[in-house]
Amino acid sequence: MSGSGPRALPRCTLSAALRGRGAHNYRGEWDVDPATIGARLASSVVTPLIKKLFVKEGPGAGLVNQPVRISSLISFRGEKRTLTEKDLTKLAAELVAQATRHAGPGERPCPADEDELVAEKLATTLYALGDLDMNDVQAVQLGHRGLAHELTHATRTRGRDTLHLSQGGAALHERLLDTACLHILHFFTQRSTFVARSLVEQSGQLSDLITKIDILIERIPSQSAQDAGFERRYAEYMIGKHSTLTIVGIDLSHAEATWPLDAAYLSLEAVSSEEERPPGDPFGDAPAVTHTALPAPLPAPLPAVVPADRALSGHQRVLLRGIAGSGKTTLVQWLAVCTARQESLRGLEQLIGRIPFVLPLRTIARQESLPSPASFLASVHNPLDGAQPPGWADRVLTAGRGLLLIDGIDEIPERDRERTRAWLADLLIAYPDNLWLVTSRPSAVADDWLGHRTSPSSRSPR
């Protein structure tokens, strides 16, 4: 949502309860590191090119009840050949050209004069599709990196791997081959009803992965190698910093009082209804919310219940209101870790490609002035503050990639809350396209303090 221009907004109330749903591990073999998408190839570019690798089939060809050998599907070998080896090289050259067309300073992995060699090597590797002794089901079971490995191995075994690339050229070839294999497998799941039925989970994972890459390419602008490298370090630090919970109020040893977040996290549930904001209000882009008790005593229809960690999927700005111990800070940690990991974000697509900033008000409000983006890391004593590239935080927020987690309005003196609101309003005006979550106890702020509010209530026995 854009922050410009006055407009009427719907009313939204969120009410949440802790559920006893255990968290799952977010690591998986189908995940993508944003730093590895240097090829920057969206599905809209790759899919038409990949389809040319395979023969055009008539209606109903995909309605099969058994696997199909890959060698019978390709268009550049055998009796059904419609694509020559020269055509295959042109196709590979187009992939290289598309991948490097918008490469920014420091982003191109190899010199431009090596592109032709990379394309030739890619064409040679893809040619090995006709040498594989496997069918479409077996290929999908391998996964895209497994298929890429098999193609590389087949090329070397048959003595075709004669081109030698620089380290950067080899890296570009590897990324392009991985991307091509991902879309080849997705093509298999789309053309054959048998593959889609037999490998439901893998088919869904391939589709999700391509969607995730498309979102990353759209959301992450061309960036310098320095920014990309720092973001990897920052993500690792955030995971280490926020992936444990400390249990307070109970006499336990240090080891017993510290729990892994994955094991201890309990999801929140939320119910929403929205309200208009006056024109010109800096918070006016986000739906405003008031606390509503559940269940309603009248037979009016109740708003839908959604997981609170997904409230940001429909709203850019959320104020989480709840009593002490209801899970507000834990949710902040959970969102920070999920965003830093960039893994298994199904249902949390709004976090793809974003950078989390955790700003506990009890820490930053003690300082003489509240921080500007350049001082975010320093304000929370992040040891990586001195390592961040100049202007990095501003670039992240200007691109709308930030997830700002501002915790504990209730933990600062009442006299400081108005200057905190003014500080937040200024940030919203300067950087309107980011995601914002602010937490507080219900008694600390008025109903109209911010545009969108979520209220955790009691623990559910479920």
pLDDT attached to residue 386: 94
- Condensed to tens digits (0 to 9), the pLDDT of residues 175-225 reads 999 999 999 999 988 887 778 788 888 888 888 888 888 888 777 766 677
One domain for residues 214 and 286? no
Tell me if 8 is assigned to some domain.
no
Same domain for 186 and 59, yes or no, is: yes
Q: Is 47 exposed, middle or buried, given 0-12, 13-18 or 19+ CB atoms closer than 10 A?
A: middle
Tell me the HSE value of 95 on the side-chain side, using a 13 A CA sphere.
36
Confidence of residue 111 (pLDDT cuts 50, 70, 90): confident
Amino acid letter, residue 170: A
At residue 366 the predicted structure's pLDDT band, cuts being 50, 70 and 90, is confident
Q: 295 and 172, same structural domain? A: no
Domain that holds residue 67: 41-221
Q: Are residues 198 and 344 in the same domain?
A: no
pLDDT given for residue 342 in this prediction: 86
pLDDT tens track for 277-316: 444 455 544 443 333 223 333 344 445 566 666 667 777 8
- Residue 182 maps to a domain: yes
- Same domain membership, residue 419 and residue 288: yes
The residue from 168, 186, 221 where one domain ends is 221
Q: What mean pLDDT do residues 120-135 have?
A: 92
Lowest mean pLDDT among 5-14, 272-281, 341-350: 5-14
Q: Is residue 388 very low, low, confident or very high in pLDDT (cuts 50, 70, 90)?
A: very high
Cα-only R_g, the chain: 26
Residue 360, in any domain of the structure? yes
Indicate whether 307 and 422 sit together in one domain. yes
Asked if residue 92 belongs to a domain, the reply is yes
Residue 86 lies in a domain: yes
- 43 or 16: which carries more pLDDT confidence? 43
Question: Do 325 and 191 lie in a common domain?
Answer: no
| Angle (deg, nearest 10), helices 167-191 and 115-127 | 40
pLDDT digits (tens, 9 = 90+) for 238-270: 999 988 766 555 554 454 545 555 555 556 665
What single DSSP character describes residue 287? P
322 part of a folded domain: yes
Domain boundary among 188, 221, 254: 221
- CATH number of the domain encompassing residue 434: 3.40.50.300
Number of domains in the chain: 2
- Give the pLDDT confidence of 142-159 residue by residue, as tens digits: 899 999 999 999 999 988
308 & 243 share domain: yes
Higher pLDDT, 26 or 285: 285
Residues 180 and 236 in one domain: no
Q: 155, 150, 158: which is closest to 133 by C-alpha?
A: 150
Residues 217 and 239 placed together within one structural domain of the fold: no
Residues 136, 109, single domain; the answer is yes
- Domain boundary at 221, 252, 286, which? 221
pTM beyond cutoff 0.85: no
